[in-house]
Every structure is written in C-alpha cells, then in structure tokens.
Amino acid sequence: MGFDCRGSFANLSRMKFPRFFSLLIVATVFAFSLRAADKKLTVGFSQIGAESAWRTAETESIRGEATKRGVNLRFSDAQQKQENQIKAIRAFLAQGVDAIILAPVVETGWEPVLKEVKRAKIPVILVDRGINVSDESLYTTLIASDFVAEGRLAGEWLAKKLNGKGNIVELQGTPGAAPAIDRKKGFEQAIAKNPGLKIIKSQTGEFTRSKGKEVMEAFLKAEGKNVNAVYAHNDDMALGAIQAIEEAGLKPGTDIIVVSIDGVKGAFEAMVAGKLNCTVECNPLLGPAAFDAIEAVKVGRTVPKKTIVKDEVFDQSVAMDVIGSRKY
Ligand code: GYE
C-alpha cells in the first residue's frame, strides 16, 4: 500500500488554507522542540577550589554526572577567590551557556553578577553553600546540607562525650563561608546548654589540612594540657590537628577528643585508628541532583527553591563497619 502523494496534495489543497497553516506551525514547533530537546547542554561550573577531600569529591561527582549525561561542562577552579568566580560566571555568560552551577565561596557580594545572569535568563544552580541576596530570584535553586544542624549534632555528641564539662578549641572554616558561619552557630547552640563546656580558642583553618595543623600547633603552644577537645568545621582541618596533637606528644582521640564534619574516607580511617572520635557527614555527591534540576528547568518544570541533603553522625563505634561502604 504505497504513499499516494497525488491524493494527499489533493487533500491538502481541499483543506481550508488556515488549517493547513496551523498544521504547518505545529509541525515546525514540534521539529524545533525535538531539536532543542536533543541539543547537547553546555553548563558552566564555577568551583571554589580543591581545599579538601570533600571538595574534590564534589567536583568529581559533578564532572562525572556531566559526562554520564553527555553535557558539555565548562569547569573553572577559583582557587578560593570570589573575584575568580565572578570572572568565570561572566565568561560563561559570554559563552552563552545553558545553565550555571555555582559553589559560592562566601555568602555575600553576588548580586551584581547574578543580575547579569538573570537578564540573560540563564538558570543558576547553587551547590553546597548558600548566598545572601535581597532578591531570591537571582538563583534558581540551592542543593546543600543544613550546616547549623551539622554544628548542633557535633556539639551534642561532644557534650555527651565530655559529660558536659571541658575546654574546647575550634577550627573554623573559610571566613564568610556559609558552612563556617552556620557550623559555628549550631555548635554554640548545643554548647550553650552545657555551662561546663567552654570554647577557649577559635580561629580559621581555612578548611585545609595544613592550616588546621598550623593553628592547632598554636592552640597547643598557648593552652597545652588545658585543651580537652577540638571541634573542626571539616575533616581535613581535624586530620591536620591530629598531626599537631601527636607531634606535641599527646594522644588524639584520648588525651584530646577530636570532632569534625564531612565524613570523608580519611576521617573514617582516623576513627578506625582511634585518633578521630566523631564526624558528622556532609554529602558532596551533588552531581545527580544538580543536573536533575537543570534538566527540569530546561523543559519548563519548576524546581524547589531549596533541597536539603540528609546527613548522619558517625563515631568510632560504627566506623569499622561503615568504612567499606563509603563512596567518598
Ligand atoms: O565541609 C569542606 C569544604 O562547602 C560544605 O567546604 C562545603 C565545605 C566542606 O571545604 O570540606
């Protein structure tokens, strides 16, 4: 049964001229959306840097997911500098990317560049750190953990371990960064309930192992055996502090209790070795959720303004059982 073109053109010509045109328009729109749907997405990813094992795991998760989904990813490492992230976002704008993934190093200073992105109607997916803006429409969605809750969980665990009594030194994250501000707030909320617990020293270790070691050395020099515990805003700083404690001839995990946040493999190894006591997980594997959000926005679906990733507390009592199943 061949295709009778003469018959169909006859039908077409008998068709009322407007109906034919509307069919033509529908067909054209359909063809375009097919083409739009299978057009390879280009996404710009402005990453903070590689300051910790956690950050590297996040980068790998986003890069890996881009490859899996055939997305053309433009990656920029800002070396911890906001001005480099702003430069990268302007470059992505000039390149006409389809979407931008941003891990903002600090909370403030984003309004001018995000206004430019909004004018270009390019969706902005914030990963792991939030920002302070007067107009929330300057970003599409935030995918992150609840840092205040993480700090509170660490504080509650330590308060129990120390029976509500002791001197704590705190290694803070990058000044002005959402996790540093909120993990401090949450921890102090938990400590405030225990008058016997005191934060005697608190300083930034910039989320790095080397700075964590350096600052802990200074704390030990200043306070010596007066220190009962160290609270680090991330595992990398805690691992640096453990080195400093050992070099000071003390036993980390025993003489000085060590609590931190992230849940990276190195932290589990230190817990199994008895040197770290507890870590509060902060999941860096945000690639799938970030690209789900981009794909949803690209086909006109709405996405929640905020997606909070669930975290767990791990201490030495479970470390050996869990370490084998850790993905980062
Ligand atoms: O805890 C730390 C990294 O923004 C949640 O940044 C992230 C933090 C993470 O440097 O390891």
Ligand 1 site, residue 211, Cβ cutoff 6 A:
no
Low-confidence ranges of the chain (pLDDT < 50): 1-3
- 24 CA from centroid of ligand 1 (Å): 53
Q: Mark 256-277 as b/e (b = at least 16 C-beta within 10 Å).
A: bbbbbbbbbebbbebbeeebbb
Ligand 1 site, residue 128, Cβ cutoff 6 A:
yes
- 19 CA from centroid of ligand 1 (Å): 59
Ligand 1 site, residue 150, Cβ cutoff 6 A:
no
Q: What is the pLDDT of residue 115?
A: 98
Ligand 1 site, residue 182, Cβ cutoff 6 A:
no
Find the farthest-apart pair of alpha carbons in the chain and give their distance in angstroms, rounded. Answer: 97
Q: What is the pLDDT of residue 28?
A: 73
Q: Report the atom number in ligand 1 closest to the C-alpha of 174.
A: 10
pTM: 0.88
Ligand 1 site, residue 55, Cβ cutoff 6 A:
yes
Query: Mutation test of ligand 1: which of 150, 211, 282 has the most ligand atoms closer than 8 Å to its C-beta?
Result: 282
- 55 CA from centroid of ligand 1 (Å): 6
Closest CA to ligand 1's atom 5: 128
Q: What is the pLDDT of residue 254?
A: 98
Q: Alpha-carbon distance 157 to 190, whole Å?
A: 9
The 10s digit of each residue's pLDDT in 28-60 is 766 655 555 557 899 999 999 999 999 999 999
Read off φ and ψ for residue 166, nearest 5 degrees.
Answer: 150, 165
- 205 CA from centroid of ligand 1 (Å): 12
Contacts of residues 118-125 at CB distance under 8 Å and 24 or more positions apart, as own/partner, are 120/93, 122/92, 122/93, 122/97, 122/98, 123/99, 123/293, 123/294, 123/297, 123/298, 124/99, 124/100, 125/99, 125/100, 125/101, 125/290, 125/293, 125/294
Q: What is the pLDDT of residue 9?
A: 53
Average pLDDT, the chain: 93
- 23 CA from centroid of ligand 1 (Å): 54
Ligand 1 site, residue 281, Cβ cutoff 6 A:
no
CB 168 within 8 A of CB 223: no
Q: What is the pLDDT of residue 146?
A: 98
Q: What is the pLDDT of residue 19?
A: 76
Q: Report the atom number in ligand 1 closest to the C-alpha of 233.
A: 1
Q: What is the pLDDT of residue 318?
A: 98
